[in-house]
Amino acid sequence: MLNHFSELPIGSQRSLFDVPPGIAYFNTAYNAPQLNESRARLVASAAAKSHPWKRSPGDFFDDAERIRVLAAELFGGDADGWAVVPAASYGVSTAARAIEPTLNVNDRIVLLDEEFPSNVLPWRRVAAETGATIVTVPAPADGDWTAATLTAIRPGVRVVAAGRGAVDLPAFVAAIRAAGFDGALIAHGFAEDDAPAVAHHLRHLIGQTSHA
């Protein structure tokens, strides 16, 4: 598995969080601590509700549009290619709903074993309602999720839902593009340095794509 973090000598970031000395917290995939700056912005946003007469109609959209512009500048693509959702589960569920009408009986949906429920349950629902089939890639003994997932790409596959940062995404996207994959790639939970290359390749994939 590609290690995105071994070459990032960023040092301690404790000062950016309200984590007391002597506390080492590792369970961030489940429930990450809030950045101090994020907390300050949340408090400021909550305070704005105390004076609703100061808000204009544009205030309902300006912040979201600014976030989309910043995401495009940081990760690649354009602002219209980014959506603001409260959690990855919302984004995956929205993608699943959008793709559902294109699926037929016996179409295949490829998932990774041991995946987070938010990238499994929406596809199980879609499969139940369309007659599509879930194909789960088992955990590879050598840890190479990219190679293991590519073996599942075959005729009849219409969706590949790759998450958890386990796949070398730029190489994976290039490979499935070369294989003529005609379907939807749903990717989430990847390092930001993957995004520009991913955005470039996704533009050329046939069918629907989503990067959440």
Which residue type does 97 have? Answer: R
- Would you say residue 92 has pLDDT above 70? yes
Give the separation between CA 88 and CA 179, rounded to whole angstroms: 28
Residue 72 lies in a domain: no
CA-CA-CA-CA torsion sign (178, 182, 186, 192): positive
What's residue 179's pLDDT? Answer: 65
Instruction: Identify the CA nearest to 28 among candidates 15, 37, 20, 19.
Output: 19
Token pair listed for 199: 């955005």
- Would you say residue 56 has pLDDT above 50? yes
Indicate the average pLDDT of the chain: 80
For residue 166, name the pLDDT band (cuts at 50, 70, 90).
Answer: low
Residue 40 lies in a domain: yes
What's residue 49's pLDDT? Answer: 87
Number of domains in the chain: 1
Q: Which string of DSSP letters, residue by residue, matches the chain?
A: ---SSTT------GGGBT--TT-----HHHHPPPBHHHHHHHHHHHHHTT-GGG--TTHHHHHHHHHHHHHHHHHSS-GGG----SSHHHHHHHHHHHHGGG--TT-EEEEETT--GGGTHHHHHHHHHH--EEEEEPPPTT--HHHHHHTT--TTEEEEEE-TT-S-HHHHHHHHHHTT-BSEEEE-S--GGGHHHHHHHHTTSBS-EEE-
Residue 189 lies in a domain: yes
Q: What is the mean pLDDT of residues 109-138?
A: 93
Give the separation between CA 142 and CA 131, rounded to whole angstroms: 33
Give the other-Cβ count within 10 Å of 157's Cβ.
Answer: 20
Q: What is the mean pLDDT of residues 116-130?
A: 93
108 vs 201: which has the higher pLDDT:
108
Q: Which domain holds residue 153?
A: 1-55+86-212
Residue 198 lies in a domain: yes
Q: For residue 187, list its beta bridge partners.
A: 162, 211
Residue 48 lies in a domain: yes
Residue 60 lies in a domain: no
Which residue in this structure is represented by tokens 């041991």? Answer: 114
Please state, for a pLDDT cut of 90, what percent of the chain lies above it.
30
| CATH code of 92's domain | 3.40.50.2300
Residue 64 lies in a domain: no
**For residue 156, how many C-alpha atoms fall within 13 Å in the half-sphere facing its CB?**
11
- Would you say residue 51 has pLDDT above 80? yes
Token pair listed for 70: 């910043």
- Would you say residue 189 has pLDDT above 90? no
For residue 165, name the pLDDT band (cuts at 50, 70, 90).
Answer: low
Residue 45 lies in a domain: yes
Q: Average the pLDDT over each of 69-83, 97-111, 119-133 and give the range with the smallest value.
A: 69-83
- Would you say residue 131 has pLDDT above 90? yes
